[in-house]
Amino acid sequence: MMVMHSMTASLRLVYPPISNQHADWLLEDAAARERLDTAKLYMIAARREVEFHNLAWNEDEQVLSFDLGFPGELVAGSVDVDAIMEDWPRSERGAADVAAGPKRIEISDVNGAGYPVWFTPDKFLWNVWRGHKYVSFAGDVRQFAKYDLLYIGMSQDSAFKRLVALPHEARLKILTNELVRGAQGRLSEEIMFFFFDIDPLFVSTYGDDDEIDDVAVDMLMNPLKRVQPQVLVEDAEKAFIKMLQTPYNRRRYHKYPAIAKGLADTILQRYGYSIAEDLSFMIGDLEMVGGYAEGLPCSNDADFIFVDGPTASLVDISERMRTEFDGAASDEQGPA
């Protein structure tokens, strides 16, 4: 048996999905920027705007209830304000101050105890699928966590800075060319940004007769010395662009995984990527499903991109091998 070095990498959101408008509001938010600046990979997508409807406050139970969605497609949800306040310092705690509207809920303490807790509809959904104790939802989050994927990008510095703080050609083209999906929606609220960190898990397999030499030990103890983080980021970006063929990416990387500055030139023989969040990205009739599982690379629902030598495949959990791309295909250019 030959030694086999492999990797599976999970894409995890460093921050909840945010709209184009919300992103501009965060430019001056130091705490949010600290988290967002850790993301190296970003995606732009679109979905009909989801809002909070029929907001109602239960004073006795200290629970804010609402319907989430859009007219004709609403699901009941709630936020347990009493549970939020239990996490604030008791000695400083006063009464809850709840401000709620269609786009945002904010809960703070009149005495300034603890940190204010806020929810946009997408942050609420994100909290639900991650199992946060403050939130309750009567439906399936995937009903509203399905997005039309438009663009994929990366930055070795800060994805948020690259996409939001600096001029970005694809972002401008999307805001110029995309049509509003909701009857009364605003495009700036329908365009959504996703900021991901990449969490790799390395596995090395040895046979009974394989010698574990210094290189093997180094790979086991220090895998990122053999697979540099910047190479991982660049490979992940190109893998998703190639497999999903996003409309606003000019280059489509049809030769992937045979690319410059990719994982094909490393010690890895097999590797793959999944989205470790309960959301789906749509590209025409193609859907890539993500799946969140606490403490695991992803849930069993997640599709993944699998690279084995010169071949990259998009593996659908329900249909198994849906589409296979030969690494020898010619590189093409997308729309200008």
- Cβ count within 10 A of residue 312: 26
- Statement to judge: residues 134 and 151 lie in one domain: no
- Statement to judge: residues 174 and 80 lie in one domain: no
Q: Of 140, 158, 174, which residue constitutes the final position of a domain? A: 140
What confidence tier does 258 reach under pLDDT thresholds 50, 70, 90? very high
Residue 80 pLDDT exceeds 90: yes
| Euclidean distance between CA atoms 199 and 8, whole angstroms | 8
Average per-residue pLDDT in the chain? Answer: 88
210 located within any domain:
yes
- Statement to judge: residues 12 and 30 lie in one domain: yes
Question: Hey, what are 54's tokens?
Answer: 């029929």
- Statement to judge: residues 152 and 130 lie in one domain: no
Beta bridge partners of 135: 79
pTM metric for this prediction: 0.89
Q: In this predicted model, what pLDDT tens digit does every residue of 87-114 receive, in sequence order? A: 877 767 778 899 999 999 999 887 776 6
Q: In this predicted model, what pLDDT tens digit does every residue of 153-185 receive, in sequence order? A: 999 888 999 999 888 999 999 999 999 998 777
336 located within any domain:
no
- Statement to judge: residues 295 and 209 lie in one domain: yes
Kindly report which listed range (2-6, 164-168, 273-277) carries the lowest average pLDDT score. Answer: 2-6
Measured between alpha carbons, how far is residue 53 from residues 62, 69, 70, 82 in Å?
Answer: 18, 8, 8, 21
SS3 label, residue 77: strand
Tally of domains within the chain: 2
171 located within any domain:
yes
- Statement to judge: residues 13 and 27 lie in one domain: yes
The 3-class SS string of 199-264 reads: EEEEEEECCCCCCCCHHHHHHHHCHHHHCCHHHHHHHHHHHHHHHHCCCCCCECCCCCCCCCCCHH
- Statement to judge: residues 197 and 305 lie in one domain: yes
- Statement to judge: residues 190 and 310 lie in one domain: yes
Q: How is residue 330 annotated by DSSP?
A: P
Structural domain including 100 reads: 51-140
- Statement to judge: residues 133 and 150 lie in one domain: no
Chain centre distance of CA 67: 24
Residue 140 pLDDT exceeds 80: yes
- Statement to judge: residues 163 and 275 lie in one domain: yes
331 located within any domain:
no
Residue with tokens 């101050």: 97
33 located within any domain:
yes
